[in-house]
Amino acid sequence: MVTVNEAKEKIIANTSPLAAVTVPLSQALGSFLASDVVAPIALPPFRQSSMDGYAIVHSDVTEPGTALHLTGESKAGQADLPSVQPGTAVRIFTGAPVPEGATAVVMQENTSVAGNAVQIHEYPVAEGKNVRRAGQQIQQGAVALAEGTLVSPGAVGFLKGMDVNEVSVHGKPRIGLLVTGDELLKAGEPLVPGKIYESNSDMLKAALANAGIAEATVSYASDALEATIAALKALIDEHDVVLASGGISVGDYDFVGKALEALGAETIFYKVRQKPGKPLLFGKKGDKLIFALPGNPASSLVCYYEYVLPALRKMMGSGEPFLRSVRLPLRHAYRFDGERDEFLKARVEGGEVVSLDGQESFVIGSFAVANAIIYLPVSQNRVAAGELVEVHLLPL
């Protein structure tokens, strides 16, 4: 049995980023950059107005009500611009090029127009006011986004604004899911005594989709050794990562561990000193990663967030694979006994973290409203209200 930290260290040490591929930017959402993206142009590429108003020489305004002669206008997309001479002003619109000679833009709410003159009611006017400098957002040749950055909707907009249409990203792992358990019913089957509906595969597929992995192959195996061996072999042969749900504890009908041994897979560790999710197995067969997750749904999801997701993120090239961790005060006191660290389903609310009802490993309903996981090591098994605890924020 390993500790929580030992388990995480072993997983990261045995995980490598997948090879880089070049893809259209439109297909890169949810991927991590495999190399720096260098800005091919400056943003903005020219001096740009941030307001509707008037482009002027700022030093012309010597008192409130200074009148300047209007000589033209500059609108967005315009290339042929009038220059601004001392004593003159040019009507300008948001996003338009700032004419040569202008040193500031006065917003139209601080002006009034009479005939061919505009009165400036703002005084003094600072040099550069309401003018976006060329390259203020990024200079040509600078690193726009660094290797390991997640391609988010904001990243897509940023790169498209520089006419970047392809990026190098790490590939996304191919995922195979194995579901075991003779007690499980598929969707739509009639409920009969002793049976329950299988939900872990859809739960894990949803978690994978949330991580940017839209597809996963699901296979089912009966509670029999040969069936488990055959199903695992097929998934390992065709996928980069295999997640087995259930069948990894010590019951008479738990065959996943025996099947992996029969297939020659290497067990990196089996069992973690934690609650829930103690019977977690992490192994490899060649360069394929294998996670055998507990069958109880809350245990399975805790293990996914704390161990599987970081491995997937590292494979996809993330430089920060683990859930974001913060320290927050616990709203209500909590205590536990035993020699295992605890993970608690929780909600972050108003600068505090609340441990939810229903912490049992079979209770998934509390996860439905959770936005965080509290991590309590054995050394912190008596927590007073208001005491700071380690909180892992879920990627919702």
d(CA 239, CA 232): 10
R_g over Cα of the chain: 30
Residue 390 CB neighbour total at 10 angstroms:
15
Q: Is the peptide bond before 44 cis (omega within 30 degrees of 0)?
A: yes
CB 285 within 8 A of CB 265: yes
Residue 320 belongs to some domain of the structure:
no
Residues 295 and 267 placed together within one structural domain of the fold: yes
pLDDT at 270: 96
pLDDT at 217: 97
Residues 374 and 267 placed together within one structural domain of the fold: no
CB 106 within 8 A of CB 50: no
Residues 254 and 346 placed together within one structural domain of the fold: no
Enumerate residue ranges in the chain where pLDDT < 50: none
Give the N- to C-terminal CA distance of the chain in Å, as an integer: 31
pLDDT at 253: 59
Q: Which domain holds residue 180?
A: 4-18+172-315
Number of structural domains in the chain = 4
**Which domain-ending residue is among 280, 315, 350?**
315
Residues 106 and 222 placed together within one structural domain of the fold: no
pLDDT at 17: 96
Residue-wise pLDDT for 267-305, tens only, equals: 999 999 999 999 999 999 999 999 999 989 999 999 999
Residue 138 belongs to some domain of the structure:
no
Residue-wise pLDDT for 109-121, tens only, equals: 999 999 999 999 9
C-alpha dist (Å) from residue 266 to 10, 25, 286: 13, 38, 9
- Return the structure tokens found at 182: 């003779």
Residue 153 belongs to some domain of the structure:
yes
**Which domain-ending residue is among 105, 132, 159?**
132
User: pTM score, two decimals?
Assistant: 0.86
